[in-house]
Structure 1
Amino acid sequence: MPLLPPPSANTAATAFERLLHIMDDLRTNCPWDMKQTMQTLRHLTIEETYELSDAILDGDMTEIKKELGDIMLHLVFYARIGSETNDFDITAVLNGICDKLINRHPHIYSDTEANNEEEVKRNWEKIKLKEGNKSVLGGVPASLPALVKASRIQEKARGIGFDWEHKHQVWEKVEEEMQEFRNEFNVEDAAEIDLERAEGEFGDLLFSLINYARFININPEDALEKTNRKFIKRFQYLEQKASENGLNLQDMTLAEMDVFWNEAKKI
């Protein structure tokens, strides 16, 4: 006889209990769910996180709600697997994050003062070091995409006061790195360059640009993704117009393609 799912809930607590009950049913009775491990779920969780990111960039609240549910399912799934090995359960997970938040917000739950965002961040990093972190940068995941990682590294360093004082100093660093790269690797002839050194200098330039973006409150990951999307939209317009005119992109000159590209920029 089929299991009856728990009824819809009216409160956050009972809705969460409903999800836990369904997870238990699936883990016990569904052939696919029964086979999953933390390792098999890992890449799916990453995919769900990127889907949530896409929904946020699109400003699609319906999709954001759906993707949050998918990620919530994954979190509950990991906790269920942890309980099967007696390592942890969902109660321990929730109490753990609650305890951490209380400990790291002494300006809310104790007598520490923090009057602005920077003081909160500075206290946060100090507390993490007291908790056993050997380095301020120790909490930056090694597998983060490089652009995001650079931003997090800079934010962490800023949290303990290791930072430029004025944004014009950061821009001077950008110009310095640009000049170094240009002088050595912007060669006009076909002379070979030291690719490894060029890569290092280019990385320095990108790092300084990301640093400047932080100073003017631009998220470099968001900025680059918006440019990616803009390029895709314009390039697809170019493909569409070429097709409508019976043209093949491979056979078109750059000047011919620029006609449609400039049209796309006006849309």
Structure 2
Amino acid sequence: MDIHDSDPLRRLRAIMARLRDPDGGCPWDRAQTPGSIVPYTLEEAYEVGEAIASAEPEAIQGELGDLLFQVVFQARLGEEAGDFDFDDIARAIGDKLLRRHPHVFGDAEFAQDHEREAAWESAKADERRDRDRHSALDDIPLAMPALARAQKLQRRARRVGFDWDEAAAVIDKIREEIGEVQAEFEQGAVPERLTDEVGDVLFTVVNWARHLGVDAETALRGSNRKFERRFRAMETLAEADGPGMNDLSLDELEALWAEAKRSEGKGPLDHL
């Protein structure tokens, strides 16, 4: 492989090999292990999500490149260990896509979307059995963001019928869980107990979002961005009118919040 190769992917792999070269490579890159770069891989994945949310093609391209580098990095480490290389990774995902899309690459025909989804899940279940994993909850990474992992756990449970039939039924459960938090709080429960009960509320709200067809992780990311945008606008307004937010009362801060919302051109019913 050559760092001047005209093929972009071969060039990237050559650059990676050079970075890992014991003779003249980068000390930081040579010191890395498969486990040590996981935090960077997760960070890059989040940055891809943020770039996509920004709808800026140049930013998306750049962040996807950073994420691709993480894949190439892991592939190089696997190759050095004699376990696998980039071609093995690409071959495996290609085989998996062919296997999971018999309606595209084979003779299968599905009249309804749910039939195609059932076939997809069946193929995944077969793959888990081949790896001697038998629980419906196998292969859900612990490192996933908590909201996203909750959704995935709930979807897996739904496959065996452990789920509410409709979104309306979840609302009563949310009220029940909130009542349990309130009761524990009024009884002076220790923080660990309150944490457990609040977790139940969040898990149930995720379930409600799933029944409504809303991705909870995406929804909360959007609300985080909205809060940050409006809070920064509040800071700008406060600095324009005086010394800043620290010396303002809660009522004055609420007024700034309302003004920040109006500055976005939103209506009176737009509540965070």
2:21 pairs with 1:25? no
Identity score, percent: 37
Summarize the alignment of residues 91-240 of structure 1 with structure 2, pairs less than 5 Å apart: 91-131=87-127, 132=129, 133-182=133-182, 184-185=183-184, 187=186, 192-240=188-236
Asked whether the 8 Å contact 1:23–1:77 carries over to 2, the reply is yes
Matches of 1:177 and 1:111 in 2, distance apart?
Answer: 48
User: What corresponds to 1:11 in structure 2?
Assistant: none
Query: CA separation of 1:42/1:226 partners in 2, compared to 1, >3 Å: closer, same or farther?
Result: same
- Give the deviation of 1:127 after TM superposition: 2.5
2:246 pairs with 1:250? yes
Q: How many residues align?
A: 256
TM value normalised by structure 1 = 0.84
Matches of 2:106 and 2:150 in 1, distance apart?
Answer: 33
1:203-227: CA deviation from partner (whole Å, max 9, x where unpaired): 2222121111112221111111111
User: What corresponds to 2:66 in structure 1?
Assistant: 70
- Give the deviation of 1:176 after TM superposition: 3.2
Query: CA separation of 1:113/1:243 partners in 2, compared to 1, >3 Å: closer, same or farther?
Result: same
- Give the deviation of 1:174 after TM superposition: 2.5
Choose the corresponding residue for 1:261, options 247, 257, 263: 257
1:110-144: CA deviation from partner (whole Å, max 9, x where unpaired): 44443444333333333233232311211110122
TM value normalised by structure 2 = 0.82
- The answer for unaligned runs of 5 or more in structure 1 is 9-13
2:96 maps to amino acid: K
1:8-59: CA deviation from partner (whole Å, max 9, x where unpaired): 4xxxxx3322322333333334324333332332222222112111101212
Q: Name which of structure 1's ranges 36-45 and 253-262 shifts more when overlaid on structure 2.
A: 36-45
- Alignment partner of 1:251: what SS? coil
Asked whether the 8 Å contact 2:2–2:11 carries over to 1, the reply is no
CA-based RMSD: 2.5
Matches of 1:84 and 1:213 in 2, distance apart?
Answer: 44
- The answer for unaligned runs of 5 or more in structure 2 is 264-272
Matches of 1:34 and 1:194 in 2, distance apart?
Answer: 47
Asked whether the 8 Å contact 1:125–1:160 carries over to 2, the reply is no
2:76 pairs with 1:83? no
Query: CA separation of 1:199/1:114 partners in 2, compared to 1, >3 Å: closer, same or farther?
Result: farther
